[in-house]
Amino acid sequence: MMEGSLVYVMGPSGAGKDSVLGRARALLPAEAPIVFAHRYITRPADAGGENHVAVTRAEFAVRRAYGLFAYHWHAHGNDYAVGREIHDWRAAGMTVVVSGSRDHFLRTGGLDSQARPVLITAPAERLQQRLAGRGRESAVEAAERLQRAEAYEIDDPRLVTIVNDGTIDDAAASFVRLLARPEWPGAVLRRA
């Protein structure tokens, strides 16, 4: 059996990554061999945003020490991780979708040769509106996240960029079409 691919989704805060991925999950056929990995985050479960596994800093440290994470990183005052179960899913031939960090992607040198990087982004004014609308950050934190939006340039020939400046359905449909392609285009898929 051929190992499944890793689709590594990243982008700035406010780009709508979680919304796009959530809608894409709903659009995929139930029998599609695609699984979306959850993240372990040292953020309360009721903080809003993505469906994640909330863990304390101590619990996170124990899980990391015992090698239970495939990837882990720190951003915005929280620790984030993806469980090592993704290796089993890939070994079973499934496509695994991970929501990750641009900084982590760069620090790992692009993860592995089979990784398929996707950048979901939006214009600066749209990022600002979305950050203000979700109310999860203070004004200072939102400003810091906006500064970070321009801090990382991903220069990888495999990178596919989805510009999420239309409807969530448009961006999610672009992502689903991307998952269905046997080859990886390395391009901007949608721009309004």
**What amino acid is encoded at 7 in this protein?**
V
In the numeric block, which tokens belong to residue 166? 């239309």
Total-model pTM:
0.82
The three-class DSSP label of residue 116 is strand
List the one residue out of 69, 125, 63 whose CA is nearest residue 100: 69
pLDDT class of 68 with cuts at 50, 70, 90 = very high
26-55, pLDDT tens digit by residue? 999 989 999 999 999 998 766 656 667 899
CATH 3.10.180.10 fits 6-36+93-190, yes or no: no
Cα separation values, 99 from 8, 39, 71, Å: 6, 8, 11
Domain ranges, ordered by start, for the chain: 6-36+93-190
